[in-house]
Amino acid sequence: MKKHVLLFALLTGGATGMMAQDGLQPVFRSIDAEVLANSKAYETLKGSTISIGHRLTGSENGKKAEQLVYDLLKGYGYDNVKFQPFKVESWARGHVHLDLLSATGEKVEELRSVALAHSPVKVNETAEIVDMGNGLEEDYLANPEKAKGKIVLASLWLMSSTKPGTQNLHRSEKTALAIRYGAKGIMLFNGVKDGVLLTGTASVTGKLNPIPAVCITHEDGLRLREMLTKNSYKAHLSMDNFSGPIKARNVIASIPGTKYPNEKIIVCGHLDSWDLATGATDNGLGSFAIVDMARTFKKLNLQTDRTIEFVLFMGEEQGLLGSRAYVADAIKKKTLDQVKYVFNFDMSANAIGFTAGGRKEAEDFFKTTGEAIRAIDTSFQNKSSAGGAGLHSDHQPFMLQGIPTATSVTNIPSEVFRCYHADCDGIDLINREWMVDQVRFSTMFLYAIGNAASLPAKRMDDANTKQFLIDNKLKEALQIAGDWRWKGE
């Protein structure tokens, strides 16, 4: 039986499903054997942490990472590998100093802090501190003048006293709200205990904010909240940073489809990282796994009906800059319709299932394909479903255009993520087997969807995209960020 007939039976279910799984098994077994024996995902990630370090967009390290991935893909046999350059406003930290002052201006203590990206280049600000709880709009609406002229203290995570069902916002959206309500600065305290500080962008636009933003520790945040119930305090915040226009480059390589070369399945993740550590989990896990998926496709000469395009984005951490540039370029060239599906792997490892980004119509496909993978190795638990749609990673610009997106279900210890954006995000956190499993199971899934008789979800029109975002409770965050395309609605 021909390959596409077998795959049709698999991906549409029915009585022939088991026979179709049997038909996929030879290819899946070859993928399994190749990756188990020869995966280089962990080794290339580890090597990059030693030879390059962090991968901050716009830095010399960032350029080295772009070139490293380009050279790896070339070495794996991709003659069509290319850079996609784009211009960004870079940001790099200098010094930051945060003093807690009494109401009359005497220094009480110095607080440990980390500047959040896109804070102003020069800051020398003193103002009264005001506790704004979770920093959500409901906290401001209770007293719209409360934050005006003040430095806001707010929790990055939702506090334990928060009413059930409350939806949190990203640090950039909390900063945007502080700006909207007239604050002079914002201090966000971490949800991770034991003195961990994190960085990340505080800008919804990828451009400089008019006010400074810093992260302080969980312990200092809670202590300061308690202190503010008894007395008034001020903060003196000084910092200097660098910002200026630079060029960055996405790295792209593809395997042309044999039947539908103009239908693309994008497999993407962000290569860039923050600069406090080497970004092994965020997103070395995902990006170097994708490079090894590409290696596996070439090594086994895997052919699919649709084009499989591997994309390593830069600038994700500064506001999805590389993926926004990709989508903007595709709209300009009128090629966005070629993008049929986007698989985004961000901090993805040890896949035990795949979620369809809120597209319920795709759930059967994901479950059935997962069963074919589980037949190869039962450690793949097939925890596959429609899942929900979210923001703040490189799938977002595609999702806002109605394109179906997906990712894997990650199964690694939660304590690994305590180092997210922090100075402890290093290779010592990573288990090699997590990356091996991510590569082998994702490669199987990509092979199946690349050969599906029909894709499980299609691009939505504008009206359905809008409703999809509303149904997934994303409207408020997109409005705050200025990414809600339906103005006045």
Please list the residue range(s) of the chain that carry CATH number 3.40.630.10. Answer: 3-89+246-458
Cβ-proximal residues to 370 (8 Å cutoff; 6+ apart), any chain = 353, 354, 380, 382, 384, 445
Beta strand spans in 256-365 (E) = 260-270, 306-313, 339-344, 351-355
178-190 residue pLDDT tens: 999 999 999 999 9
Which CATH number is correct for 3-89+246-458, 3.30.930.10, 3.40.630.10, 3.90.1300.10, 3.50.50.60?
Answer: 3.40.630.10
Q: How confident is the model at residue 11 (pLDDT cuts 50, 70, 90)?
A: very low
Q: How far apart are CA 455 and CA 478, in angstroms?
A: 28
Mention every residue, 6+ apart, whose C-beta is less than 8 A from residue 320.
Answer: 206, 313, 392, 393, 394, 396, 397
pLDDT value at residue 10: 39
CA–CA separation, 421 vs 278, rounded Å?
10
CATH 3.50.30.30 boundaries in the chain = 104-231
pLDDT tier, 88 (very low <50, low <70, confident <90, very high otherwise): confident
Tell me what pLDDT residue 380 has: 98
The reply to whether CATH 3.50.30.30 applies to domain 104-231 is yes
Closest CA to 58 of 28, 88, 103, 31: 88
Strands (E), 218-331: 233-255, 260-270, 306-313
How much is the mean pLDDT over the chain? 94
Identity of the residue numbered 15: A
What pLDDT band is residue 89 in, cutting at 50, 70 and 90? Answer: confident
Split at pLDDT 50, 70, 90, the class of 90 is confident
- CB-based contact 221:129 (threshold 8 Å): no
pLDDT of residue 6: 37
Identity of residue 286:
G
Dihedral angle, C-alpha 281, 283, 285, 286, nearest 10 °: 150
Mean pLDDT of 439-455: 97
Give residue 489's pLDDT.
74
DSSP state string for 84-107: EEEEEEEEEEEEEEEEEEETTS-E
Flag whether pLDDT at 8 surpasses 50: no
pLDDT tens by residue, 300-325: 999 999 999 999 999 999 999 999 99
Banded model confidence at residue 22, pLDDT cuts 50, 70, 90? low
Degrees (nearest 5) of the Cα angle 209, 214, 219?
A: 155
